[in-house]
Amino acid sequence: MEPAAVFATRLVAALADLGLRTALLSPGSRHTPLAVAFAVEPRIDHHVVWDERSAAFVALGAAKATGRPVAVLTTSGTAGAHHLPAIVEASEARVPLLSITADRPPEVRGAGAPQTTDQTRLFGVHVRAFLDPGVPDDDVARAAPSLAARAWAAAVDAPAGPVHLNVPFREPLTVPEVPAPPEERRHVAGIRVPEPEDLDRLAARLAGRRVLIVAGGPMRPGFGAAAAMVAAELAAPVLADVQCRFPSPATIHHPDLVVEAFDLHRPDVVLRIGALPTSKALWRRLEVGDVPQVHLDDVGARDPLGTASWTITGDPAATLAALVGRLEPGPEGWLEAWRREDRRAASHVEDVLAAAPFPNEPSIARTVHAAAPAGTLVVGSSMPIRDVDAFAGPPRTDLHVLANRGANGIDGIVATAAGVALVGEGPVVALSGDLAVLHDAASLRWVARRGLDVRLVVVDNDGGGIFHLLPQAETLDEPRFEELFATPHGTDLVAVAEAFGVPASSTISEAELRRDLVRPGPRLLRLPTDRRANVELQRRLRSPRGARGGDGT
């Protein structure tokens, strides 16, 4: 075989040796050697997605679901640029991703050649590494496994994230005929735990104190069990983001609604773990900085609040597990005081939603979380994730909640859910706003063509409902606000879904929503809501006086 074909087969085989099992390919020509190499490698499932932007988000969803790198391959020119939104999310969310772009040879860059642009460091600071081996020759082909190992290590070592591998090819674009033979190749990403003396110092800082544990973002397996044991030893309440919330007597189910209790039941120290939580009310209270805060994260201090007085670098699950047995409980009644506030909040939510006509956005979020079949719930940014985080109630052990909360964009929700369905076990339910679905409507066709079991629930309030809760709604006159922020679209989402081949319907019935959630996908269910009515309902639900009302049960 020619060097380009040898390079492609050796690179792809080495990635398979290291553990790559999924690759997304978009049509093109310049990447022919690599596309065929992926197609003939039996250990890697390859899937063709026409739209490069969708392909990157499918890869992102698959990587989030498995915790392993997923490759996404594209041709030269503008094609690779479409990977950028998913790469930004992967970088901020610490998701391993391999973006592989074919390129024209260096002698034609900047010379006006067709389908050619400077792809050097195309993704800037958003990738963990940029690798370009040059046009494959015999030496480059021999070094292909080493190149694969470097890319893999950069993607999986903490902090995990995306890697850009750019490969220029000259014509003729030779086609590999057979895969390279498997080799024994491994990369072990170490899990960092603080030294024993540092663990002792941390335990001394926490033991016997009124500790409040705040956790944000998704966590690797084992976090919930370790955090539950630490919380039990400390008798400390846990305010965890819905992506990492776990069943435990210490878990507070409505963190967003009990923030007012911070001043009534003041902690001695806050143990923050991972990223900021979804609840803006919670992190705004932490931003005050009047209570000492210890921040534990796997690498680097994600402390945009600037309030952490101690930062500890270590894998959260492993570090918490190492703390078990070193701690002492805080004062009697400390945990129960927060549990009492949580019961008040739960009772308040039940009362308010019982009186509110369905469909409304908090009730939709609550019903979807409760009635989704065992599997994965992918939640869109903006209001859906906030509503699930605030109102879903007790966490479920059989439902994995995922969201694109690295950069918090609304884009790629359909494709992300498709990626989860492609590699995951069990059905995937996605909860999204209408604008997010319109933004990613092209991905509906791929979902339909592959017959993926994605059950997409769309809250349709004809625009950007979250802006009604922001200052713009108060400071602008209604026509200007509607034009610039609410942006009503007037689109028939059922017709859009059906045009792409996804069965769809619209309902105002909670019973029908529950029925559709257990019917196999692909399917889309639209529920119309009113943006202005949602503002008033959100205010009632978050009323401090209402949430703290009642007799304390």
Write down which residue in 340, 370, 399 finishes a domain.
340
The per-residue pLDDT for 320 is 97
Residues 308, 444 share a domain = no
371 in a structural domain? yes
* 123 token code pair: 């993704």
Residues 155, 201 share a domain = no
Residues 529, 382 share a domain = yes
* 289 token code pair: 């900085």
489 in a structural domain? yes
348 in a structural domain? no
Residues 224, 138 share a domain = no
Cα distances (Å, whole numbers) of residue 157 to 19, 68, 110, 465: 14, 11, 35, 39
182 in a structural domain? no
Write down which residue in 285, 305, 340 finishes a domain.
340
Q: How far is CA 32 from the centre of its chain?
A: 31
CA–CA dist 68, 47 (Å, integer) = 17
Report which of 215, 371, 362 is spatially closest to residue 282, judged by C-alpha positions.
215
What's the number of domains the chain is made of?
3
Task: Provide the CATH number for the domain around residue 48.
Answer: 3.40.50.970
Write down which residue in 340, 372, 407 finishes a domain.
340
Residues 134, 36 share a domain = yes
CA–CA dist 7, 150 (Å, integer) = 15
Q: Is 497 helix (H, G, I), strand (E, B) or coil?
A: helix
Model confidence at 550, pLDDT cuts 50, 70, 90, reads very low
Residues 506, 368 share a domain = yes
The per-residue pLDDT for 102 is 96
The per-residue pLDDT for 39 is 97
* 366 token code pair: 């609550």
Residues 155, 202 share a domain = no
HEC-encoded secondary structure of 205-240: HHCCCCEEEEEECCCCCCHHHHHHHHHHHHCCCEEE
pLDDT at 108 over 90: no
184 in a structural domain? no
The per-residue pLDDT for 551 is 36
Question: Cβ-count burial of 183 within 10 angstroms (0-12 exposed, 13-18 middle, 19+ buried)?
Answer: exposed
Residues 123, 207 share a domain = no
Residues 158, 210 share a domain = no
- Lowest-confidence segment of 233-242, 325-334, 464-473 by average pLDDT: 464-473
Residues 321, 377 share a domain = no
73 in a structural domain? yes
Residues 508, 538 share a domain = yes
Q: Which domain holds residue 100?
A: 3-168
Which residue has better confidence, 220 or 223? 223
- Lowest-confidence segment of 173-187, 198-212, 255-269, 333-347 by average pLDDT: 173-187
The per-residue pLDDT for 153 is 98
Model confidence at 106, pLDDT cuts 50, 70, 90, reads confident
Mean pLDDT of all residues in 529-545 = 89
CA–CA dist 169, 180 (Å, integer) = 19
Neighbour tally for 355: CB within 10 Å: 9
Residues 221, 131 share a domain = no
351 in a structural domain? no
Q: Which helix (H) or strand (E) holds 28?
A: none
The per-residue pLDDT for 188 is 84
Instruction: Give the list of residues 6+ apart from residue 436 with CB closer than 8 angstroms, or none.
Output: 380, 381, 382, 410, 411, 413
pLDDT at 549 over 80: no
pLDDT at 552 over 60: no
Q: Is 246 in contact with 332 (CB distance < 8 Å)? A: no
Task: Provide the CATH number for the domain around residue 320.
Answer: 3.40.50.1220
346 in a structural domain? no
The per-residue pLDDT for 544 is 64
Neighbour tally for 169: CB within 10 Å: 24
Model confidence at 152, pLDDT cuts 50, 70, 90, reads very high
Tens-place pLDDT, residues 381-416 = 999 999 999 999 999 999 999 999 999 999 999 999
- Lowest-confidence segment of 79-83, 185-189, 312-316 by average pLDDT: 185-189
